[in-house]
Amino acid sequence: MLTKNEIYEAVICDYTAEGQGVARVDGCAVFVPNAVFGEKCRIRIEKAQKTWAAGKIVEILERSPHRVNRECPVAKLCGGCDFQHITYQEETRLKAERVRSCLNKLAGEDLAEMPILAAPTCHGYRNKAQYPVSSKNGRAYAGFFKAGTHQVVENDRCGILPAEMDGVKDTVIAYMNRHGVPAYDELSHTGLVRHIYVRRGAVSGQTLVCLAINGRAIPQAYRLVAELKKIPGFTTLVLSVNTKKGNAVLGDEFITLHCPGYIEDTLCGLNVRLSARSFYQVNHHQAQRLYEVAIRQAGITKNDTVLDLYCGVGTITLCMAKAAGKVIGVEVIPQAVEDARDNAKRNGIENAQFFCGDAGEAALSLEKQGVKVDMVVVDPPRKGLNADAIEALSRFAPRRIVYVSCDPATLARDVALLKERGYMLKNAQAADLFPRCAHVESVVCLVR
């Protein structure tokens, strides 16, 4: 066990899933924030456990050529970005490496390399922002949570968001301060505005503003609408009622204050409608490239029935509809299913069907009803597939499974389970949808 407050010299030899550097000292893994692979540092131990420790750099003895100055003035405080201190080249290298090593270590693969779709820009790429709101000396402000806390770090201008989004945030904050609308206070569970949520169509520029509030109404709402209307692209204002304690940003009930309650955008040539509650990939350009890979890997023919589990608003489902005989999407959020059905209609797609429910349960029930599928796409949240979904996949026994994943560790775990059920990994591709942030997306194809 290492000694707290002791300083050790070590080389950064890896990164964690969260983007921290890892050093090895006397067989113990030391997690070091803001470290760069290959750097020799003097590290002070801040926390020591039997098999691991947490440390801080006190001096860099050999600096990596991939270390760069942070562009963002609040980068060190703000918990939004993880990689402001390294080159984008190093960031994509480590992300590809993470996908490769997960598949090799957890799914028994022997991949020598992993291709990654690098993003053309690290700036202004997000089409969604969620700003937590807080107050200081009676003045409301918004920003982002400090890493690991619920302390709001004020940020005037976030580099990974388009400037228009910060404009929306500023308009809402100005309205709050002008009319004495209180920010929510987590400790006392009082106050009103919790989060400013903004979604802006990358192609359409249409902008949805959603205020997550600890209540059911906001004072002088018409004044806020009047101010928002001055912002080009402003389309709709909704309230999300969230009166519960806890970390969830949105509540279950939505109240539209300015119609229509959703925005439209164009994705892979489809006109899509998006409600506040529906999932939509935050990096439009990279999402399109990711879906193109997924569709290519799927190798669909006109006779195929395709099942898309965790389908959201039906983006992948509808992209595949043209090539397939029939497509079926399953999604648990009712608003997203409504969007998906509407998206099929607005694009004149008649061979798509959507079900609302848990992916695993719905798939098992479809299989029991005798539905046959040739190809399955899954795109689950970070926790990956549950036992029902794995069971359903093995009963359907589709020719191919295309797995789109936002967590390489659960992807690799599920690939291992599917390999036990007669599948083998055919293609694997990493994609960077979150420049400057540690999350990495990937897509793999399994064949029976």
* Least distance from ligand SAH to the Cβ atom of residue 401, Å: 14
Q: How far is the CB of 227 from ligand SAH (least distance, A)?
A: 31
Known catalytic residue at 406: yes
Residues with Cβ within 8 Å of 10's Cβ and at least 6 positions away in sequence, in order, are 23, 24, 25, 30, 40, 41, 43
Is there binding between residue 310 and ligand SAH (CB under 6 A)? yes
108 binds ligand SAH (CB under 6 A): no
Of 87 and 266, nearer to ligand SAH (C-beta) is 266
Catalytic residue among 78, 102, 311, 406: 406
Task: Give the separation between CA 113 and CA 207, rounded to whole angstroms.
Answer: 40
Kindly report the backbone phi and psi dihedral angles of residue 429, in degrees, each rounded to the nearest multiple of 5, phi listed first.
-145, 130
Rounded to the nearest whole angstrom, what is the least distance from the CB of residue 278 to ligand SAH in the complex? 7
- Tokens representing residue 189 in the block: 């569970």
Binding of ligand SAH by 15 (CB under 6 A): no
Among 34, 315, 405, 442, binds ligand SAH (CB under 6 A): 315
Query: Rounded CA gap, 295 and 30, in Å?
Result: 41
312 binds ligand SAH (CB under 6 A): yes
By beta-carbon proximity to ligand SAH, the closer residue of 11 and 332 is 332
Identify the burial level of 89 via C-beta atoms within 10 angstroms of its C-beta, where 0-12 means exposed, 13-18 middle and 19 or more buried.
exposed
Bridge partners, residue 83, by sequence: none
User: In this complex, which beta carbon is closest to ligand SAH, that of residue 333 or of residue 416?
Assistant: 333
How many CA atoms, within 13 angstroms, populate the side-chain half-sphere of residue 107?
A: 28
Q: Which is nearer to ligand SAH, 83 or 279 (CB)?
A: 279
Rule CB under 6 A: say whether 397 interacts with ligand SAH: no
Contact 325, 300 (CB under 8 A): no
Query: Minimal distance in Å, beta carbon 330 to ligand SAH?
Result: 6
Taking CB under 6 A as the rule, does residue 339 contact ligand SAH?
A: no
What is the CB-side half-sphere exposure of residue 210 using CA atoms within 13 A?
A: 29
Rule CB under 6 A: choose which of 25, 332, 364, 416 binds ligand SAH: 332
Q: Does residue 333 bind ligand SAH (CB under 6 A)?
A: yes
State the number of binding residues for ligand SAH (CB under 6 A). Answer: 17
Residues in the chain: 448
* Residues 6 or more apart in contact with residue 205 via CB below 8 angstroms: 164, 232, 233
Of 262 and 310, the one with the shorter C-beta distance to ligand SAH is 310
In terms of C-beta distances under 8 Å and separation of at least 24 residues, what long-range contacts does 242-245 make, across chains too?
242/194, 242/212, 242/213, 242/214, 243/214, 243/215, 245/186, 245/189
Q: Which residues contact 114 (CB under 8 A, 6 or more apart)?
A: 96, 97, 99, 100, 103, 428, 429, 430
Please choose, out of 110-118, 172-180, 307-315, 431-439, the segment that lies near ligand SAH by the rule CB under 6 A: 307-315
Q: Which of 116, 340 has the CB closer to ligand SAH?
A: 340
Residue 15 CA to residue 384 CA, distance in Å, equals: 22
State which of residues 12, 196, 298, 359 lies at the interface with ligand SAH (CB under 6 A).
359
Q: CB burial class (10 A; 0-12, 13-18, 19+) of residue 216?
A: exposed
Which residue carries 């770090």 as its tokens? 153
CB closer to ligand SAH out of 261 and 360: 360
In the range 253-292, which residues lie near ligand SAH by CB under 6 A? 279-281
* Interface with ligand SAH, residue 305, by CB under 6 A: no
Least Å distance between CB 374 and ligand SAH?
A: 19
Asked whether 430 and 404 are in contact (CB, 8 A), the reply is: no
The residue among 41 and 430 lying less far from ligand SAH, judged by its C-beta, is 430
Task: Among 239, 316, 318, 401, indicate the residue that binds ligand SAH (CB under 6 A).
Answer: 316
- Spatial distance between the Cα atoms of 26 and 8, rounded to a whole number of angstroms: 10
From the list 163, 381, 395, 424, which residue makes contact with ligand SAH (rule: CB under 6 A)? 381
Interaction of residue 364 with ligand SAH, rule CB under 6 A? no
Q: Is 318 in the site for ligand SAH (CB under 6 A)?
A: no
Residue 335 binding ligand SAH, by CB under 6 A? no
Q: Which residue has the tokens 């301060």?
A: 177
User: Tokens at residue 441, please?
Assistant: 């997306």
* Contacting positions for ligand SAH (CB under 6 A): 279-281, 310-312, 315-316, 330-333, 336, 358-359, 379, 381
Active site residue ranges? 406
